[in-house]
Amino acid sequence: MSEIRHNWTREEILEIYNKPLMDLLYEAATVHRKYHDPNTVQVSTLLSIKTGGCPEDCGYCPQAARYHTDLEGNDLMSVSHVKAQALRAKASGSSRVCMGAAWRNVKDGPEFDQVLEMVRTINKLDMEVCCTLGMITETQAKRLAEAGLYAYNHNLDTSEEYYKEVISTRGYEDRLETIDNVRKTNVTVCSGGIIGMGESVEDRAGMLVSLASLNPQPESVPINALVAVEGTPMEEQKPVPIWEMIRMVATTRIVIPETQVRLSAGRTEMSREGQAMCFFAGANSIFAGDKLLTTPNPDVNEDMEMFEMLGLNPQKPFIKKMQPETVEAEDSQYQALGEKPKWSRPGHTIERNEEAKMKAKELKKAK
């Protein structure tokens, strides 16, 4: 009988999260060793292929056009630029490239075609390719799969209840629908969240209930610590204490045992000792490179030094699942349908998002 459970309750997860730390670590490390090689860590490189100017209002995000941050936006990168970056990432030990575009959802057309070409190009470099492009339809997911996409990232961010305090321009059910569309292909699912946005521990448990109830559970779960960027609605949030990060990683490991738990944003604030405890608690993936989309990240050489000190080895690509085949554009079975899906737009008022928007407007006026 499979030991993977999809019916975790919030109470059960809270009980795990709040255990005495030594008991929690021991349990998480035991689960980790049962399902994974504890000395192997996946290294992914995150590339922002289209930066800023996003129409969404995610309260944590400096890429939302409505807030005023120091971020410099960029149009979609060329395929050759992406290829050069992927080769650099491969040379420095990454097995996966994750490409992020600041879009609400994917629209059929030349830009999506360009992303498909990026996917084909990186898959041919024998690296795992992941994309995070916003909401996608089933046909778009199939086109990505055909191009050789290995994973699609779409974070749930937090619990369904607290989501309404963070984003007003789309609904939780759209996130789940996109994940469902990805699941209709052989592309793996990467979905996790952010802690430190002002949510309660119950919300953290609620997010894990949602992720664990997916069947199959996501193959990767990124756990981010909020990086509070000036100008965003969450600019005043205090950094997440390392102990909370360790507890969240350990609880994720126990509840979603087969997944790769990724230490994502916020690593620059963590000591090596803190990161080592996260690896012990079951984290087995990191993002490498000096930037995480738009926020700082440790230098890859420092990470490799840390790996050496801890005796960790970077994971080789396609260990968990075979490399997908790339179908060239001219041989594709799927055509762009120009679909215009009705993704929701709840449009409720989130006070801190409104305040940050007003502040941005005033700053613009004053210029």
For residue 41, the cross-strand partners are: 314
| Angle ∠(264,215,30) on CA atoms, nearest 5 | 60
Q: Reply yes or no on whether 130 is catalytic.
A: yes
Dig out the tokens for 246 from the structure: 């360790």
Residue of the chain from 25, 43, 46, 54 that contacts ligand SF4 (CB under 6 A): 54
Task: Pick between residue 93 and residue 296 the one whose CB is nearest to ligand SF4.
Answer: 296
Task: Pick between residue 58 and residue 182 the one whose CB is nearest to ligand SF4.
Answer: 58
Residue type at position 97: V
Residue 63 found at the interface with ligand SF4 (CB under 6 A): yes
Residue 136 C-beta: closest distance to ligand SF4, Å? 13
Residue 138 found at the interface with ligand SF4 (CB under 6 A): no
- Out of 61, 96, 120, 253, the active site residue is 61
Q: Which residues contact 215 (CB under 8 A, 6 or more apart)?
A: 6
Q: Reply yes or no on whether 190 is catalytic.
A: yes
- Out of 120, 130, 183, 253, the active site residue is 130
Q: Reply yes or no on whether 98 is catalytic.
A: yes
Residues in binding contact with ligand SF4, number by CB under 6 A: 8
Residue 47 found at the interface with ligand SF4 (CB under 6 A): no
Residues numbered 92-131 forming contacts with ligand SF4, rule: CB under 6 A: 102
Residue 229 found at the interface with ligand SF4 (CB under 6 A): no
Residue position matching structure tokens 């046909």: 139
Q: Reply yes or no on whether 58 is catalytic.
A: yes
CA distance 230 to 356: 10
Give the pairing of strands 128-132 and 96-101.
parallel
Give the range of 56-64, 85-93, 219-227, 244-252 binding ligand SF4 by CB under 6 A: 56-64
Residue 61 found at the interface with ligand SF4 (CB under 6 A): yes
Task: Pick between residue 61 and residue 209 the one whose CB is nearest to ligand SF4.
Answer: 61
Residue 61 C-beta: closest distance to ligand SF4, Å? 3
Residue 76 found at the interface with ligand SF4 (CB under 6 A): no
Residue 58 found at the interface with ligand SF4 (CB under 6 A): yes
CA torsion sign for 328, 329, 334, 340 is: positive
Give the range of 52-60, 74-82, 235-243, 338-346 binding ligand SF4 by CB under 6 A: 52-60
Give the range of 28-36, 40-48, 57-65, 175-183 binding ligand SF4 by CB under 6 A: 57-65
Q: How many residues does the chain have?
A: 367
Residues that bind ligand SF4 (CB under 6 A): 54, 56, 58, 61, 63-64, 102, 134
Residues noted as catalytic: 54, 58, 61, 98, 130, 190, 262
